[in-house]
Structure 1
Amino acid sequence: MGLLSKLSNFLLCRWTCQDCCQSCWECSCCQPSDEEVEILGPFPAQTPPWLVNDKNEEKDGDSDNTASDPPVTPQDASPDRRRSSSDTSRSTYSLTRRVSSLESRRPSSPLVDIKPIEFWAMGSKKEAVQPAVLRKPYVPADDYFHKFEPQLYSVDSSSDDVDSLTDKEILSRYQLGMLHFSTQYDLLQNHLTVRVIEARDLPPPLACDSSRQDMAHSNPYVKMCLLPDQKNSRQTGVKRKTQNPVFEERYTFDIPFLEAQRRTLLLSVVDFDKFSRHCVIGKVAMSLCDIDLVRGGHWWKALVPSSQNEVELGELLLSLNYLPSAGRLNVDIIRAKQLLQTDMSQGSDPFVKIQLVTGLKLVKTKKTSCMRGTIDPFYNESFSFRVTQDDLQDASLVFTVYGHNMKSSNDFVGRIVIGQYSTGPPESSHWRRLLTSHRTPVEQWHSLRSRAECDRVSPASLEVT
């Protein structure tokens, strides 16, 4: 009887709900709610293999701890304990499904290194999941060498930055002399004053022009501008036959104060040569943002070599207009600026000669008046040439700037050719605009070229004197 009573009590406790005394599969309090079924879903027929392995490893690892715990008998297990165990199993399965879905969406070659999640189905210990750590993509060792730029690591004395050298080191290295000048900004007048005082120890003409090796002294002058605008420049008078010229000349630049602080003052010491293009001896560049413009100051600066060995010849502003009905080609000589100086005194006496060449034949020659004592002349003179529409395609206009000389022949300054035999892309562009816009004046600035350059690229230049 004792054995039978114990067996009946066991079966009743295992399969009968103690709250309502009904079978567990018929009892309403033991059935899961709709909300729990919707979240957790039905249990699978069998546990996933990877979860079984983890549970087996946990059991093996915790065998020592579980052996010391007292066994739990069915009589000791209450309904609340069984219910909490069931809830733990359901939440365990829900988390397992979420982990499985993450594993299925993981890319084949991830750039994120995630530590595998260790989950214990029945154990009480929980391990925190480590955050994802970005993994740097693997780059072969050979690819690192392709990123190097050898020119940055080469040892080349000529590539040293001049700004890192002192004036004494620059003077000993290049031996081009020194320049004394001062600057000051006037806030009331809104202009910058540059005073060119003197130069010292300039090299002889042989240093910049081997054709003048028979001359012992230079004829220096200083040309200055505010970079990046090199067109609006000033220049001093020429000092005859000296290597230590004294200028003592002042020049002003009308420029706002904030704009002046963004400019760089460039002073070039040039050797005057009446019979060829002037040669640049050396230059000094000083950023105006590094100095106190209002207070002003004086500086002795060592000259450094210039990449521009020869000065520009100047610029010429022209306007062209063709009237097809009258067969007239109108030419306006408006102005010129920063012409090459042809006289030892400050300024020159420039004039412009205009010559019409049809094919390779000189047809007509005209010239402007002579402007005395200036390198920035204003002409505003108009000339007209008779050219038919048939001859317009073969026509060329040769513009030559001369410096008037009463004692000898006129001094050549510069030349350009516009038309069929243009001397460059700017001249060709100006001529095409004329051909496509009849009866409309077409205006453009042109940089003058040397006689040798014009003769080399334009046959029309060879037909004039």
Structure 2
Amino acid sequence: MEMELQLLPLRWRGLLARISDLLLCRWTCRNCCQKCFDCSCCQTNEDEVEILGPFPAQTPAWLISSQNEDKDGDSDNTISELPPTLEDVSPDRRRSSSDTSRSTHSLTRRISSLESRRPSSSLIDIKPIEFGVIGAKKEIVQPTILRKTYTPDDYFRKFEPRLYSLDSNSDDMDSLTDEEILSKYQLGMLHFSTQYDLLHNYLIVRVIEAKDLPPPISYDGSRQDMAHSNPYVKICLLPDQKNSKQTGVKRKTQNPVFEERYTFEIPFLEAQRRTLLLTVVDFDKFSRHCVIGKVSMPLSDVDLVKGGHWWKALVPSSQNEVELGELLLSLNYLPSAGRLNVDIIRAKQLLQTDMSQGSDPFVKIQLVHGLKLTKTKKTSCMRGTIDPFYNESFSFKVPQEELENASLVFTVYGHNVKSSNDFIGRIVIGQYSTGAPESSHWRRMLNAHRTAVEQWHSLRSREDCDRVSPASLEVT
């Protein structure tokens, strides 16, 4: 057969070799003429180094440029484990695996050479983890972890003793039932209801009645009789305590029946974030009104649309006395005319002085130069209200050189026909102001000539004003 192939022309000989390679060598080994899956020549040796690819079909330029440098090679660029030598390979495979081992070893050396030339700078400055070599005892060195050691003093210093102290008086109100609160404080109970009107977008609060209210405390600390018990209820939606409402005063009773209904114009979603606060107050014409107790209920805990009725036990309030009310004023100074203009706009939530009709409040304005009273004016009297609207203007002659020594005293009274007028509250604005809000209002007016400056002021008691302002002592 070989003789016949040699006699054929060279052109035909090459063609037959290609056909034989195409038909036979796809399935037959050219070295041993056996099937490839049975041939030991074509089996993969587990000792051979596996090259992870895929590598490009053409050798990259950077690999060719480094080929000449790798020829000389030094001991530093060699790898620790070399591919199997020719002696370790079986004689039948020595011919086919020698070329593969040689190319594998060469490529591995080139890759290790390039890895050694990479820059050694790290992006993150961290301490490298060092591992020990597994020795005869197979002791593995774990990475070192730096931990802060705590002494017993440091450990216990993190605790706050006040949070873990046993205090019998620090009971949580929320954890007590109404019966437990009633037996502990004995302040009585309040009956009320709530419901939200989705059609008109307002909240309805109905104060129905109260029972077993304690009588007020006298000046010597003892309880008075039922004849001095004159309760009423103030209603507000926290955190807005300024826009509150209040019921009428029920005379000489510890079980008052109010049956009064109030509405708060507020969106439904906003109402769910508010807390209903009901404060039961005892009316005292000749002294400041005293708070008996309070009930607070988050509106998010109830079904506002469906509504409901509740009996709630009263708990003590940190506010022992009721606020006297607020007054809205506007000040304006004209330097060219030397005139100090004052506008009494309105007041709200004034202390009630009349048990049956609320109050008949009016405001008295007095100008004091230094410590001398020079001028007095007053507004009209608003009948039967604790939220009066005045909108009245007054003008005082004050030269600019005397302005720094001037003070304005505003006093709110409740009109009384049978006796002297009932004092409600007072503030002083000017040289002898009664507090920081009053001083701020005066400075704003001085810095804004010919411009009206408005501000709300909380009324103070006569004793507080006389203690801090000499101008309050000069007026009646």
Contact 1:315 1:447 in 2 (8 A): yes
Contact 2:215 2:223 in 1 (8 A): no
Mapping 1:167-182, distance limit 5 Å: 167-182=178-193
The alignment partner of 1:354 has SS state of strand
Q: Assess, with a 3 A threshold, how the Cα gap between structure 1 residues 93 and 151 changes in structure 2: closer, same or farther.
A: farther
| Cα distance in 2 for residues equivalent to 1:406 and 1:103 | 98
The CA deviation at 1:154 is: 3.4
The CA deviation at 1:269 is: 0.6
AA paired with 2:149? P
Match for residue 327 of structure 1? 338
The CA deviation at 1:242 is: 2.1
Write out per-residue CA displacement over residues 242-293 of structure 1, whole angstroms, 9 at most, x where no aligned residue.
2221111111112222222222111001111222221111111111122111
The alignment partner of 1:213 has SS state of coil
| Cα distance in 2 for residues equivalent to 1:174 and 1:135 | 62
1:288 paired with 2:317, answer no
Match for residue 258 of structure 2? 247
| Cα distance in 1 for residues equivalent to 2:129 and 2:325 | 68
AA paired with 1:46? S
| Cα distance in 2 for residues equivalent to 1:210 and 1:33 | 103
Contact 1:403 1:412 in 2 (8 A): yes
Match for residue 176 of structure 2? 165
1:402 paired with 2:413, answer yes
Match for residue 312 of structure 2? 301
**TM-score under structure 1 length normalisation:** 0.77
Q: Assess, with a 3 A threshold, how the Cα gap between structure 1 residues 262 and 105 changes in structure 2: closer, same or farther.
A: closer
The CA deviation at 1:113 is: 5.5
| Cα distance in 2 for residues equivalent to 1:134 and 1:229 | 60
Q: Assess, with a 3 A threshold, how the Cα gap between structure 1 residues 106 and 373 changes in structure 2: closer, same or farther.
A: closer
AA paired with 1:378? F
The CA deviation at 1:166 is: 1.9
Match for residue 75 of structure 2? 46
| Cα distance in 2 for residues equivalent to 1:381 and 1:361 | 25
| Cα distance in 2 for residues equivalent to 1:99 and 1:152 | 61
| Cα distance in 1 for residues equivalent to 2:143 and 2:471 | 72
| Cα distance in 2 for residues equivalent to 1:373 and 1:358 | 35
Match for residue 88 of structure 1? 105
The CA deviation at 1:149 is: 3.8
| Cα distance in 1 for residues equivalent to 2:449 and 2:187 | 53
The alignment partner of 1:277 has SS state of coil
The CA deviation at 1:312 is: 1.0
Counterpart of 2:270 (choices 259, 264, 269) is 259
Greater Cα offset, 146-155 or 221-230? 146-155
Greater Cα offset, 151-160 or 184-193? 151-160
Q: Assess, with a 3 A threshold, how the Cα gap between structure 1 residues 178 and 136 changes in structure 2: closer, same or farther.
A: farther
| Cα distance in 2 for residues equivalent to 1:200 and 1:225 | 21
Match for residue 43 of structure 2? none
Greater Cα offset, 445-454 or 76-85? 76-85
Match for residue 139 of structure 1? 148
Contact 2:340 2:396 in 1 (8 A): yes
The CA deviation at 1:215 is: 2.0
AA paired with 1:138? R
Match for residue 273 of structure 1? 284
The CA deviation at 1:441 is: 1.4
Contact 1:329 1:385 in 2 (8 A): yes
Identity over aligned residues, as a percent? 69
Mapping 1:59-458, distance limit 5 Å: 71-72=88-89, 77-78=94-95, 80-88=97-105, 90-91=107-108, 94-95=111-112, 98=115, 105=122, 109-110=126-127, 138-142=147-151, 145-206=156-217, 210-211=219-220, 213=222, 215-217=224-226, 218-458=229-469
The alignment partner of 1:78 has SS state of helix
The alignment partner of 1:169 has SS state of helix
Contact 1:205 1:212 in 2 (8 A): no
The alignment partner of 1:365 has SS state of strand
**TM-score under structure 2 length normalisation:** 0.76
Write out per-residue CA displacement over residues 68-87 of structure 1, whole angstroms, 9 at most, x where no aligned residue.
x9855899743742542452
Runs of at least 5 residues in structure 1 that lack an aligned partner in the other structure: 1-31, 59-65, 119-132
Q: Assess, with a 3 A threshold, how the Cα gap between structure 1 residues 286 and 152 changes in structure 2: closer, same or farther.
A: same
The CA deviation at 1:419 is: 0.3
Count of aligned pairs: 404
Write out per-residue CA displacement over residues 209-259 of structure 1, whole angstroms, 9 at most, x where no aligned residue.
654636223221100011121111110111122222111111111222222
Contact 1:238 1:346 in 2 (8 A): no
Write out per-residue CA displacement over residues 279-313 of structure 1, whole angstroms, 9 at most, x where no aligned residue.
11111111112211122110001111212221111
| Cα distance in 1 for residues equivalent to 2:421 and 2:292 | 26
Write out per-residue CA displacement over residues 114-164 of structure 1, whole angstroms, 9 at most, x where no aligned residue.
86899xxxxxxxxxxxxxx99976232245555444443333344443223
Runs of at least 5 residues in structure 2 that lack an aligned partner in the other structure: 1-58, 135-141
